[in-house]
Amino acid sequence: GKLAGTIAGVDGRIHHLRGLPSATSRGLGGLLVLWSDRLTCTLAHEVLVVSESLRRDALEKRVCRPSKLRVMGAGSGQGVDADTRFNPSHYSDQRNVQRSLLRVPPNATVVGYVGRFTLDKGLGLIHEAWQSLRTVHPTLHLLLVGSMDDRRPLPEDLMRAFTGDPR
């Protein structure tokens, strides 16, 4: 899109950077993704990032010039007031129903992941951490929410390890 806009002479090309795919890509593919990130930012007049930490990462990896980067608002890509919107006291009935459906005890601690099911999102590391945590914290539960990434699906053995674990 940025290349087409540049060729067409579009003024005010803005790129919204919500993450750096190159941060989890390796090998030749990782270099191509990094090159793509850099090209996109080069062709944009302004690059909006969703957090100060993403701004720092983009600068550290030399994805974009500092003069083009601007953090959106106070750093939230969604503008959600988490203290109000996600206050557990507002959702106690739904929480109890969901815990019952998922066979999670009422007082168990739940660690969650929401995203695509792909190794690029760190699910291999989550699995390693879970193997350690689950033995040390017997009331801990892991909840994975998302869909399989058709382009780069999780290996079947890893998916079976997650789905076969009762917690």
Mean pLDDT of the region 100-128: 91
pLDDT digits (tens, 9 = 90+) for 39-89: 988 999 999 888 888 888 889 888 899 999 988 876 665 555 666 777 878
Residue 6 has pLDDT above 80, yes or no: yes
pLDDT score recorded for residue 135: 93
Mean pLDDT of the region 138-142: 95
pLDDT score recorded for residue 93: 85
114, containing H or E segment: strand 109-114
pLDDT digits (tens, 9 = 90+) for 12-51: 889 888 877 766 667 888 788 888 888 988 999 999 888 8
Mean pLDDT of the region 146-164: 90
Helices (H), the chain: 2-8, 27-43, 52-60, 82-85, 92-101, 123-136, 156-163
Per the document, the length of the chain is: 167
pLDDT score recorded for residue 81: 61
pTM more than 0.75:
no
Q: What are phi and psi of 135, to 5 degrees?
A: -80, -35
Give the span between the Cα atoms of 72 and 153, in whole angstroms.
Answer: 32
Q: Collect all residues with Cβ–Cβ distance below 8 Å to 38 and sequence separation of at least 6.
A: 62, 63, 64
Q: Which residue in the block uniquely carries the two structure tokens 């917690």? A: 167
Mean pLDDT of the region 154-167: 93
